[in-house]
Every structure is written in C-alpha cells, then in structure tokens.
Structure 1
C-alpha cells in the first residue's frame, strides 16, 4: 500500500450497510455492483474526503462567525464523505446524475468547493480602510528565446510590499525606502484595474454587482482582446486580489464556480508553506492554478505553467500573496 492510499486502512472497519446508511443511498446502491476502482478513482475519492474534512475544519476554525446554515453544511460534508467511502470500498457504482439539460460547467467538486468559499467570503467583516496592502513574493522562470532551450530561473525570488489607495500607490523598495506613484491631477483621476477590457476604478469597486448572474453579465459585457472565457477568468482573479466588498468577493466565487474547465486539485501547500485548496484552469497553452484559503476565502497564490512541449507542466510564474488585506495606515 502506497503512502498516497494510507487512508484506505480505516475503510476495512466499515460494513457495507453502515457505509450506506445515509439519505439517498438506496438510489446509489440500485446502480449495481462494480469491480474494484482504478487507482485514479481512489486518488480522487481520497482527495474529496480530505477536502471535506478540511472544509469542516475551516468552518470550525474560521475567525468569522458562521450563519445558521452551518449545521446543514456539516451534514452535507458528512454525507459526501460517506458516499465517497462507499465508492472507494467498491460497494456501489456511481451513476451519472444530470444537472438540468447540461452538465455543470466546472467540475462538480470544484463548483461545490467554490460555492462554499463564496459563503465564507460573504461573512467577512466590512471595512472602509483607505489602503489595500499587498505583500507578494514572485518567482519567474525565463525562456531562452535564442536557443529554444529549457526554462531557466530568473535572478531569484523578489518580494514587494505596496499600499494602494484611491489616489495612488506606495511601494517599499528593497533598500527600505518608499516610492509613491500618483494618478495625476485630472478631475476624477483614481487608481483602476483593467478587467475584461474594461477600466474598473477604485470607486467602481463598490458599485460592482453583488448578485452572481448580474456580475457574470457585467464581466461578459467587456470587450477583451483575448477569448472571452479566458478574459472573464483572469478578470475574476484580478478582482479577487482587489479591495472588493465581501458581497462582491462572494459573487466572484459563485461566478467562478460556473465557468467551464475549472477543476479541483485539492489540499496543497503554497510557496510559504501555508495550507490551502487549489483549483486549476487550462487556457490555450498554459495552466493557471489558484490556491485559496478556505478559512478566509482569500487567494494565497497564483501559478502559471506551460502546457505542451518539453516544458509541459513547468511553472514560469508563481506569485505568493503573503499579505492581502485592508489597512488604515501606510508609510
């Protein structure tokens, strides 16, 4: 037994009737018996169990109070764990259950996780702090364009701290000094983000739709130079890294949950060794991985990797967000 499957030991203590003792089990059992699952199925099932456990722990440890539906979520987690255990034990087959006329856009587990994160995001405390503090560590790998050789490490990781306000940004340099960049003296000038081909100003962040369908329609109304699905995905990530309200952040995760090709990787550690849950999205010739802290609903890391060719799967950019929070003071 490999280390990866060590969790299967505990399944030996289950009797099939006990494993199937949850609402709806009779429907699953009616699908018939199956042969022992493949290793990939076991891996996926174990990842789901670990994710359910991690989600339950996150809910219990969250620094923000949960609403009255916490008990319902716990029931869903326990039910999911029981169902997955039954699949791993080979007791039942899993029929394909349609969601309306079309399958879910994102993988079912990815969508479930992201909707859960949306619930957590909605309960974060509101703040009117004038600054948005970001401390990020970046690691770049450069392609040798001349020889076509493999990716090579850049000069090394670089860490930057910035405080962004409505009127500009203050950046801490490597020498301990601070640089300020302003937005100019034009009437109405303010900091902005480029999102799906649209300029979203600091004041616009407060007016973004908080209902998922309306927010999705807003994002899709842009005129990007890249394919729409790619632009909307990148726009959501940009806004998740911006000082949006808890309601907008929640809606962003709900929209993300319904985008095509999003898949759940599962529990991972980011570049700083912090525990999180990763999702991935393949876009053309690259893969984007986002690591999310389920306790705070904040991104921990973004990683872009190459798809195809000899460097397939190699990360060429990793940004670890060491600090991502509102601040009342800046240098």
Structure 2
C-alpha cells in the first residue's frame, strides 16, 4: 500500500482524516491566514510537539497554554499549517488516528476560541477582491508591524546604482539621482529623478541615508500638514518602500509608521497584475485610494495602485508593478 492509497477504516483519504476532528468547520471559516513572527511560530510549534510527544493529558495543557499565549490580549494568531504537523498518518491504528484527531482538535479549539485570524501568501483571491477580516479592528496595524519585523531581518546591501525592474522595463538610479532606462538593450539617461517626499522633507539618495529610522519620528514626519501638491502620507510611505534604496532599518521603520496611520485597512489576500500572491492594505482619502500589495515573506512591495474616487478622473487607476529591486554596480 502506497502513501497515496492509505485510508482510514471508514474510507477517508489522508486529507479527510486530518480534517475529521472537532473544530475543523470553525477553523475553515475562521478567516484568512496571517504569517506569524518566527518567535510566535516557534512557540506554537513547541506546544504542538509537546502535545504530540505525550499524546494525552499534556495535550490539553498544551492547547490551554496556546490559548493563553495567543489570546485576545496578545492579538496574535496561532494557527499552525496542517502540513507542519507530523502525526505519522498512514502508519497508525484506528485508535492512533483518533488520538491524532483529538490532539488537532484541542489545538484547533484553542485557536478558534482566541478569535485567531491569519493572513497567508497563497494568492487565492484575484486582484481587487481582497477579503476583509472582522476579527480585529487593528488587523492592518498588526500585519504591518509583523512586516516591519520581516523587513528588519533582510540583508543590507550597497552599490553604485539602484535597479528597479517593473512590467514597463528596467530603470537605474545613480547616487547622484541620475535616472537611466534600458531601451532595446541600450541605456539612456532620462535626467534627474525627483526627490522622495517625507512630510516636510524632499530627500535625495544621500538624504534618504540620513533619514531617521525611528517609527514614531517617521510617523510624525508623514503626518505633517500637507504642502501644495504633496502626496498623502500613505503614498509617501508606499513610494519609499516600493522604489527607493532604503535599507532594512529604514524600511522596518516606515512599515511601523504606516501601521500608525489612521484609516489604513487590511484587504487580505490578493493577486497583483502578474498573478503573484500577496497581502494588500489600502488608505482612502477624500478623492483617491492608494493600495499596496506586499509579499509577507520578504516585505517586498509587489504592486502599488492609485485610484481616483472623485473629480474629473474618477475611476482612473494607475498600477505600478515591481518585479524586483536591488543594488548593482553597472547599468545593463
């Protein structure tokens, strides 16, 4: 009998057997799946492993501990992907299978009871149809806080040019803000790139390197009363994150500052215009809506969309899809 043929006595396949436990229906309808921080995930897995090792009363204690550790006060979700649970399916007796289902049921009950909702990078929903999660009013800020941690752990790098690859083509930015594009394999200088807006400041490459990385100070800058023709605080943050050579610490600070903006909403799982899955957040103003799709695994901005919701351009949308960014020492 192969691993694909293995069934329970009642004829269920492996997936069906795994989902045959108390609380499965609640878990299926609990919401989207958010990526946990490494520390939170490690703690959840520790609880699971402890429960599996004892196969008994300790499972109840483990589930209770998980519920306490990830309860409403912490605001962190504790749903472990089923594929990470190793219960030896296919090698146990009916009693063993029942114990496995009971263990998963205990952990699932703990997760559902705490109001756990998570966000996963599966790309299951098409662009523009992100599912709103009502489990926590501040889910967007929690997500952005988590992403700031991911951003901070990325490797720092440097180079003569900042390369941005988009669906339109490749562009290069020098440290003196000279802007180049590639056309038919040749590089063409397109003049000086405009500085990045951060509240009252207009920053070039050097100014960006000197910008504070403190989230509170960045938020204060972003929330400075707007100047004529200035873009929204959300758009300023999104621009820095999507196409500037900001380092890991600055990116982490900007994500945390973005989390502090009032009105930022979590849309959930979406796909960008190229079909890549990510998690979208948006910020609505009186006449427009800005939205970014973020890869929760890397903190990279996959796509930025700006849509007019009022005025002569109502309904007009601009998409900026980033395929990759990074440093390089040469053009081409």
**What TM-score comes out, normalization by structure 1 length?**
0.61
d(CA) in 2 for partners of 1:12, 1:88? 21
The corresponding residue for 2:105 is none
Select the residue among 157, 170, 177 that pairs with 2:180.
170
CA deviations on 1:62-121 (whole Å, 9 max, x unpaired) are: xxxx6x6763587645537856734889xxxxxxxxxxxxxxxx9411111100000010
Distance 1:203 1:195, change over 3 A: same
Kindly indicate whether the alpha-carbon contact (under 8 Å) linking 1:11 and 1:85 is maintained by their aligned counterparts in 2: no
TM alignment of 1:1-331, pairs within 5 A = 13-14=21-22, 45-47=30-32, 51-52=33-34, 55-56=35-36, 71-72=42-43, 76=70, 78-79=77-78, 85-86=112-113, 107-137=137-167, 159-167=168-176, 168-173=178-183, 175-183=184-192, 192-221=195-224, 223-225=226-228, 231-241=232-242, 242-307=244-309, 316-331=317-332
Cα 1:79/1:70, change in 2 over 3 Å = closer
**C-alpha distance 221-289 of structure 1, shift in aligned 2 (>3 A):** closer
1:34 aligned residue: none
Give the secondary-structure state (helix, strand or coil) at the position aligned to 1:279. Answer: strand
Sort the Cα spacing of 1:254 and 1:80 in 2 relative to 1 into closer, same or farther, 3 A: farther
Contact 1:197–1:225 (8 Å) recurs in 2: no
Shift of 1:197: 4.8
Question: Cα gap change, 1:285/1:80 in structure 2, threshold over 3 Å: closer, same or farther?
Answer: farther
What SS class does the counterpart of residue 254 from structure 2 fall into?
helix
Distance 1:278 1:209, change over 3 A: same
* Secondary structure, aligned partner of 1:302: strand
- CA separation in 1, counterparts of 2:290 and 2:223? 20
Q: What is the Cα deviation at residue 202 of structure 1?
A: 0.9
The 8 Å contact of residues 302 and 318 in structure 1, kept in 2 or not, is answered as yes
- The gaps in structure 1 that reach 5 residues or longer are 1-9, 20-36, 60-65, 90-105, 138-158, 184-189
Q: CA offset at residue 178 of structure 1?
A: 1.9
Partners of 1:233 and 1:160 in 2: how far apart?
25
CA-to-partner distance for each residue in 1:240-282, whole Å, 9 max, x for gaps?
1211110010000001111111111111111111111111111
Change in CA separation of 1:295 and 1:73 when aligned onto 2, cut-off 3 Å: farther
Q: Give 5+ residue unaligned stretches, structure 2.
A: 1-17, 46-65, 71-75, 81-107, 117-135
Higher strand share: 1
Rounded to whole Å, the distance in 1 between the matches of 2:160 and 2:149 is 25
SS of residue matched to 1:319: strand
- Quote the RMSD (CA, aligned, Å): 3.8
Q: Partner of 1:121: helix, strand, or coil? A: helix
2:316 & 2:43 partners in 1: Cα distance? 39
CA drift at 1:328:
2.8
Matched residues, number: 240
1:30 counterpart residue number: none
Structure 1 Cα separation of the partners of residues 182 and 200 of structure 2: 29
Larger Rg belongs to: 2
Matches of 1:107 and 1:327, distance apart in 2: 41
| Secondary structure of the structure 2 residue equivalent to 1:218 | helix
| TM-score, L = length of structure 2 | 0.61
Shift of residue 196, structure 1, vs aligned partner? 3.2
